[in-house]
Amino acid sequence: MKSTDVIMLRPMMPLVTEALDRHFTLHRADPAGDADRFLAEVGPRARGMAVSGVRVDGALLDRLPKLEIIANFGVGYDTIDAAEAGRRGIVVTNTPDVLTDEVADLAVGLLLATLRQIPQVDRYLRAGKWLEKPYPLTGTLRGRRIGILGLGRIGRAIAHRLEAFGVEIAYHGRSRQADVPYAYHASLLDLARAVDVLMVVAPGGPETKGIVNREVLQALGPEGVLINVARGTLVDEEALIAALSDGTIQSAGLDVFADEPRVPAGLIAQEHTVLLPHVGSASVHTRTAMGQLVVDNLVSWFSGKGPVTPVVETPWPRTAP
């Protein structure tokens, strides 16, 4: 495999870089270099690609005529045109399961931090204001009805954790799931009307862009709380800023944004928001497991064993001609 050319367009964690350098002939694009020149020189012979936060579309794939596999660092792969890759016979892999528990833990923590205003209370104490008077009473998880948009691996893990809090749980997704006890709502709007906390855990992409819009936020109501640990593109951020400003909803906890790392000033200015810099899976333990899965997918593929974790759009297993 050492003679196999693999490219990396953006820096990745040392575990990935060092392992790929051992197994393959790894070509790394210099962030300050000429990307066009790099692709012109290496692209025609590249057979594998490791990516993290890189947009992979038809134009890029045109420059990689021998590409066989794209190994994505992360469970979400909306920056990759996986359907187009599939049409070209290119396998796309991601890193599911290994980050499920970490993101679910963070989502529940973000919900509690938003309801109980934990960051705000911390700032209050550090500013010496407790010496003047106690912090005002906060909201609570007690009696809350939780709606989950996207009951996949992470959504289920969040629901399982929330069961321990004794809250009512409902969900919306493409279809009803027979093996869960939670109430199903056939539309997102119906779910928003039925709950007062909406947790967004659905995949990103064109189909879900802006799905949490003004109408959904209005349905959530003045006691409503929005938590997003999925992709920022699912939420209409302008509508969210307006809803927070005029009291349409109560608060929001966000780990993701539409144009990362740029966060709208209108969100930062809101007192009742908890904003995190996309750290859902950002522990040493989980990022190490994710990085190893990127390596495992490439090693397995070029060993002739097939991909370890192919995405649904990918042409695997191969169908007989």
Q: What are the pLDDT digits (tens) for 258-309?
A: 999 999 999 999 999 999 999 999 999 999 999 999 999 999 999 999 999 9
**Which of these is catalytic: 63, 272, 278, 313?**
278
Predicted structure pTM score: 0.91
**Which of these is catalytic: 28, 231, 237, 287?**
231
List C-alpha distances in Å: 293 to 40, 75, 94: 29, 11, 8
Whether residue 142 lies in the annotated active site: no
List C-alpha distances in Å: 109 to 21, 48, 222, 286: 37, 37, 22, 17
Low-confidence ranges of the chain (pLDDT < 50): 320-321
Contact 241, 67 (CB under 8 A): no
**Which of these is catalytic: 87, 223, 260, 285?**
260
Query: What was the pLDDT predicted at 30?
Result: 81
Contact 15, 291 (CB under 8 A): yes
Query: What was the pLDDT predicted at 319?
Result: 56
Query: What was the pLDDT predicted at 321?
Result: 47
Whether residue 231 lies in the annotated active site: yes
Lookup result for tokens 């499920």:
100
Length of the chain in terms of residues written: 321
Whether residue 156 lies in the annotated active site: no
